[in-house]
């Protein structure tokens, strides 16, 4: 038997009759407040591993599944508290890449630059996904699209310099152009997080 709880309350779901894990999630969604969303899923008290999302419900025998739900704006406000620290870590990754280029160590610079770009891209995608969860009327207050466009343009220029192996110019672009923009984005994310938290508390 599979024990399913939503916000600590047992839910009598015939899990064995379901064919996929996605079916189970849809059934749980239909059982919670329509204004809420599933914010967390724990299997036997821990986060699900990536490979466990594709399990069939019959493989869950003898386990317990805990679902937490909440209002989307509360979930988003909680997640946005981490945004500025993610941008700060991106800033340091780009700075480390720049120092590699300026020290003449292009192999290290290129390696660190790839990590920094991938992290920043993942951050923008994550932020965009969060923004879709809040009501449309609330999105302008949390919007960072202007900063994203400016940073993306600078990143395109940096990629061009990388292709042409203009290492000195690349280091200059990172230091004088991208790093200040990331610094500004970090401040914006801090402000947006306060705004999101204020909306939830009001």
Q: What is the pLDDT of residues 63-98, one digit of tens each?
A: 999 999 999 989 999 999 999 999 999 999 999 999
Residue 100 and residue 106 in contact, taking contact as beta carbons nearer than 8 Å: yes
Q: Per-residue pLDDT averaged across 173-196, rounded?
A: 96
DSSP code of 11? Answer: -
Q: Are 112 and 97 in contact (CB under 8 A)?
A: yes
> How large is the average pLDDT for residues 159-165?
93
Give residue 16's pLDDT. Answer: 77
Beta strands 46-47 and 9-10, pairing class: unpaired
Percent of the chain whose predicted confidence (pLDDT) is above 90: 73
**pLDDT confidence of 198, banded at 50, 70, 90?**
confident
pLDDT value, residue 51: 87
At residue 194, the pLDDT reads 93
- Would you state the pLDDT for residue 99? 95
75 sits in the region (left: phi over 0; alpha: psi -120 to 50; else beta) called alpha
Please write the tens of the pLDDT for every residue from 7-36: 999 988 888 788 888 888 898 999 999 989
**Confidence at 197, pLDDT banded by 50, 70, 90:** confident
Residue 140 to residues 23, 35, 77, 135: CA-CA distances in angstroms? 34, 21, 14, 10
Query: CA 25 to CA 41: how far, in whole Å?
Result: 9
Confidence class for position 131, pLDDT limits 50, 70, 90: very high
């Amino acid at each position: 038997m599979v024990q399913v709880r939503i916000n600590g309350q047992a839910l009598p779901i015939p899990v064995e009759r379901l064919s996929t894990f996605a079916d189970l999630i849809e059934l749980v969604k239909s059982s919670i407040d329509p204004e809420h969303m599933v914010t967390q899923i724990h299997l036997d008290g821990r986060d699900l591993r990536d490979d466990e999302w594709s399990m069939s419900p019959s493989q869950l025998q003898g386990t317990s599944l805990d679902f937490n739900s909440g209002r989307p704006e509360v979930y988003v406000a909680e997640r946005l508290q981490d945004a500025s620290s993610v941008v700060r870590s991106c800033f340091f990754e780009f700075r480390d890449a720049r120092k590699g280029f300026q020290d003449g160590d292009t192999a290290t610079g290129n390696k660190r630059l790839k990590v920094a770009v991938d992290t920043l891209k993942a951050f923008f995608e994550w932020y965009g996904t969060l923004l879709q969860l809040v009501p449309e009327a609330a999105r302008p207050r949390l919007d960072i699209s202007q900063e994203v466009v400016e940073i993306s343009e600078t990143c395109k220029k940096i990629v061009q310099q990388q292709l042409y192996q203009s290492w000195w110019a690349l280091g200059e672009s990172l230091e004088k152009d991208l790093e200040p923009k990331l610094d500004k984005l970090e401040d914006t994310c801090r402000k947006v997080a306060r705004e999101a938290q204020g909306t939830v508390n009001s």
